[in-house]
Amino acid sequence: KNQVEQSPQSLIILEGKNCTLQCNYTVSPFSNLRWYKQDTGRGPVSLTIMTFSENTKSNGRYTATLDADTKQSSLHITASQLSDSASYICVVSATAGGFKTIFGAGTRLFVKA
Amino acid sequence: DTEVTQTPKHLVMGMTNKKSLKCEQHMGHRAMYWYKQKAKKPPELMFVYSYEKLSINESVPSRFSPECPNSSLLNLHLHALQPEDSALYLCASSQGARRASRTDTQYFGPGTRLTVL
């Protein structure tokens, strides 16, 4: 069964601190993995996208890693800012005669001053 | 232009009303999507259009009727909705090559917040 599991469910950190969000998946055959940031009541915004051959990708203070062997990904946020407070969603796509996209439940991040 | 726009931003309707949600993109994308998102849940796929043709319908009730007039526009017609249909409705688009691309990223619009009374 194609699944995407994220942890933790929620996280509270102080401004300026770093944090790491986890994503485990069982999607097959794997096509790509994306991390999105979603502010409350807004549409998700793409942060990174990685294919099978990529194991790290950065976008400013966001760095995503991918281990295709263990089917795990992480999103590392450096020097967090109040504006980083949002839900972070891991999305994995499969290629099987089309495009199947599976969303994780997301991690809700709260950055406090 | 890397933007997907949606109108209206908010919509309140009664169960007997007929309304439409609109989505537009000018990125030359050939795949467009409708998602429904309840609070604190991930988006749930409703429909996918590929090259203006409906390619995926995730068993959505017929009170939701999608329409793709051209490659830039996607509508969602609403009729006889139920209060449980209240949600954030997201539109997305992607390049949508005829062969699935490994780097095909979906770009999301800001959503329409729908409330059914």
pLDDT above 80 for A72: yes
pLDDT given for residue A52 in this prediction: 84
* Closest residue of chain B to A51, computed from CA coordinates: B102
Q: How close B35 comes to chain A (CA, Å)?
A: 10
What integer is the mean pLDDT of B31-56? 91
Calculate how close chain B gets to A48, using CA atoms only, in Å.
9
Give the burial class of B82: count Cβ atoms within 10 A of its Cβ; 0-12 exposed, 13-18 middle, 19 or more buried.
exposed
Q: Give how far A51 is from chain B: nearest CA, Å.
A: 6
| Identity of the highest mean pLDDT range in A22-31, B47-56, B70-79, B88-97 | B70-79
Q: Which of A99 and B51 is assigned the larger pLDDT? A: B51
Binding-face residues of B in 14-53 toward A, CB within 8 A: 31, 40-45, 48
Q: B2 in contact with A at a CB cutoff of 8 Å?
A: no
The pLDDT value recorded for residue A89 is: 96
Specify the pLDDT at position A22.
Answer: 98
Answer whether A39's CB lies under 8 Å from B109's CB: no
Cα of first residue to Cα of last residue in chain B, in angstroms, is 36
Closest Cα partner for A57 from A32, A25, A28? A32
Q: How far, in Å, are A13, A46, A47, A80, A85 from residue A16 at the CA level?
A: 9, 22, 20, 5, 12
Higher pLDDT, A93 or A17: A17
E-assigned strand segments in chain A: 4-7, 10-14, 19-25, 30-38, 45-51, 56-59, 62-67, 72-77, 86-94, 100-103, 107-112
Contact B100 A44 (CB under 8 A): no
A83: left (phi over 0), alpha (psi -120 to 50) or beta: alpha
- Residues of chain A in contact with residue B48, where contact means CB-CB under 8 angstroms, are 99
**Mutation choice for B interface testing from A99, A100, A102, A110 by most B CBs within 10 A:** A99
Q: Which amino acid is at B107?
A: Y
Neighbours of A76 (CB within 10 A): 15
* Chain A interface mutation, best of B27, B33, B86, B102, highest count of A Cβ atoms under 10 Å: B102
R_g of chain B computed on alpha carbons = 14
DSSP per-residue string spanning B62-111: TTEEEEEEETTEEEEEEES--GGG-EEEEEEEE---SSPPTT-PPEE---
Higher pLDDT, B38 or A41: B38
Lowest mean pLDDT among A13-27, A44-58, A91-105: A91-105
For residue A14, the tally of other CB atoms under 10 A from its CB is 10
pLDDT at residue A46 is higher than 80: yes
Q: For residue A99, name the pLDDT band (cuts at 50, 70, 90).
A: low
pLDDT at B97 exceeding the cut of 70: no
Q: What is the average pLDDT across A67-75? A: 95
Q: Tell me: pLDDT of A64 over 80.
A: yes
Is B63's pLDDT higher than 80? yes
Q: What is the SS3 assignment for A84?
A: helix
Kindly determine whether residue B45 and residue A101, on different chains, have CB atoms separated by under 8 Å.
yes
Using 50, 70 and 90 to split pLDDT, how confident is the model at A27?
confident
Considering chain B, what percentage of its residues have pLDDT values greater than 70? 92
Q: Identity (one letter) of the amino acid at B83?
A: P
* pLDDT (0 to 100) of residue A96: 58
Check whether B62 has a pLDDT greater than 80: yes
